[in-house]
Structure 1
Amino acid sequence: MNIWIFNHYAAAPEHVGGTRHYDLAKQLCKKGHSVTIFASSFNHFSKEEMVFKDGKRDYQLETIEGVNFNWVNTPSYRGILGRARNILSYTIKSFQKAKRDCEMEKPDLIIGSSVHPLAAFIGYLLAKKAKCCFYFEERDLWPQTFVDFGKISAKNPLAAGLYKFEKFLYQKADRIIVLFDKAQNYVRSKGTDHKKVICLPNGVDLSNYHQFKRSDSVDRIFKGIEDKFVVVYTGSHGIANHLEPVIELFSRLEDNPKLHLLMVGDGTRKKELMSIANEKGMTNITFADSIPKSEIPYLLNRANMSIISIMDSPLYKWGFSMNKIYDYMAAGLPIIMMASPRDVGSLMDVPGIQASNVMKENERAIMHYFNNPDELKHDSRLLKDYVRKHYSWEVLSDQLENYIYQDIYKEEADEKII
């Protein structure tokens, strides 16, 4: 089966950022399918050009472990206007390239994936031209995310337009993929047939955690803290990541010289977070730059625990699916979630995960594992087992493949009847 995926921000293993579609495509390729990902060459997370160093070509095809990446040359950016230009460039160029490719080899399925909806829209247009299945994957709920985080009002004309665009894609899609368990209810609330909705959360490629690829950059990060009990955070340092409470928590744990917080990543709030730590005179915290996804398993293997902080927002009533959670589980790192238990939902039932907004409770959880290494090892094994059963890409790709076969064979049967 020939599958195309349009994801502006898709990343390869050696890039910074999430590798959701690469990991999914890799498993589908192992099952005998052909998968091509149309992605921007400019990395949204590192703000670096990853492919076209000379800037002279518009496209480049690269195959990584069977997965085809059709890299689209898009302009670099920093601000909002630059990002808008980048989005338009990706939309126009990827559509033009895929339209030409479609004349030579038609896809059986096109998956159009947000964050921004234009990637999904061109997926719909091309699926219509190729007369094939179209899946709309809504990784973030646009514009609900903006509304719930207070960036725009629900009555704002921009929000109203995006809601209509969202509903249009819901109506045109053969399937709607969401990443959060309760997001299915969100889609249904828009008047969409619940049978069209698939919940396919983020996952993890467990093979990356069986053999670690040593990294000099990771070794440099751990220089001077090799003998510490390291609690790690990886990912964006932005407003939505709500990392101030993490800094505050470790300022309260400074009396124990063996405990250390490692913050790996970049974002709009990173400099401010570093300033807060400096003002407090904290010596039990290290800030490090983002690293490629391929180096994350080795980094996590050197840590003892992990931590996440979640901003209190109505958005989380639909659930969440952070890549880092499944990476932490695969590495066997107990997770401290600085969040309301009501937002965490079913994860509260997973051994090795502690969720609380109360500082004292989070302090006790860290000290408990610090003082009880046998229990840490026990819960580490349980986390690895849990993620293998529920969130490995092998399991998740099987689930998606079942839906694909249902839809493709149904379409073929309908054509024969006609």
Structure 2
Amino acid sequence: MLLHGVLKRLVKTGGLTVIDHHGRPRHYGIAANTDAPDDRRVVIRLHRASTAWRLALNPKLALGEAYMDGDLTLEQGTIFDFLTTVVQDMGPHGALPFQGLQRLWERGMRLWYQFNPEAAASRRVRHHYDLDGRLYDLFLDTDKQYSCAYFPTPDTTLEQAQLAKKRHIAAKLKLEPGMSVLEIGCGWGGLALYLAETCGVEVTGITLSHEQHAIATRRAQERGLSDRVKFHIQDYRTLAGQFDRIVSVGMFEHVGVPHYREYFSGIHRLLKHDGVALVHSIGRSEGPGTTPAFIRKYIFPGGYIPALSEVMPEIEQSQLWVTDIEILRLHYAETLKHWRERFLAQWDKAKTLYDERFCRMWEFYLAASEVTFRHWGHMVFQAQLAKHVNALPITRDYMNEGERALAAREKPQRPFAKTA
């Protein structure tokens, strides 16, 4: 069996048992040792003969689809445990067997997959972010932050870590009261409201999601900030004016390589002469790659996780200074762990919004993402940019000082109003 050869090569330190559609088990890694402890074994069952072939030949699409459709079920462990068992020995530069021709095809098509003109960008954003808002209420923090949190200590809660992320970003922006701030990709408005309340700035937030725009606008009204925080449904490429600061968190992953120069030229155009920008994005440490077929088809169409080697040349061409870069390694893995555990705890509620298949799809997305950050070289980078060499102090001390000052000024976090 082709799948047998693949798993025999991949599974070393973990333990896996695969029961085929005839009920015959095969054991891999430590599971092949009858003395191995049961708590280190994962047991899966394949319900169709075709599933094994699909998994061997096209695992990056077939695995998620088989789990969604119930053709692959777990008899011991979770889908997260199974993914960890399979990929933990590969490392970020590892390759799945029999993937050579498929990788060539994917690389040849990747720029087409990432082509995001305005109409396509709007449609693709709505595919993910205009889902029923109650879904996100089930697993995000109380401020509905849908990006990597920042964990100063191992025992930091998700709510504390998301607040720390906003504080960390605000300190890097070196804000002064009265400044104008543009947020490209404003989500549900949490960061914009934090900057207005804590730093005394005026914020313009833009999004392509109608659902996010409606909720963010309502939140600003409820908190009496409508005069200082404005949200618009707009593509950054059509925006006019200039701003003291620009921040973009978790949006760059939707831009696509063909549009990087357009994106950074847009930041240059929209920044004032002494302005500062901060781009917070997922990145890949292993160099340029492709978006897995499952993620591209079901979760983030048009999305792509960049390598810094793809980003830096475009920043250079835009005539922006890179004034600081920070790599957050396992922070997103911890964030995703919180999201996955919260989602599993709210499974029945999610099922009432959609169905069992959707829940399995979402669990697979969260589990696969966490495994990727733990074992396959994904990270988050924060790139601080400026037009002028003297726009910021020449040491990083102001960032730590800024975080302490912000922490002292922060108002108690208001729980996010659940979606009706």
TM-score normalised according to structure 2 size:
0.29
Tell me which of the two structures has the higher relative contact order, counting C-alpha pairs closer than 8 angstroms and 6 or more residues apart: 2
TM-score normalised according to structure 1 size:
0.29
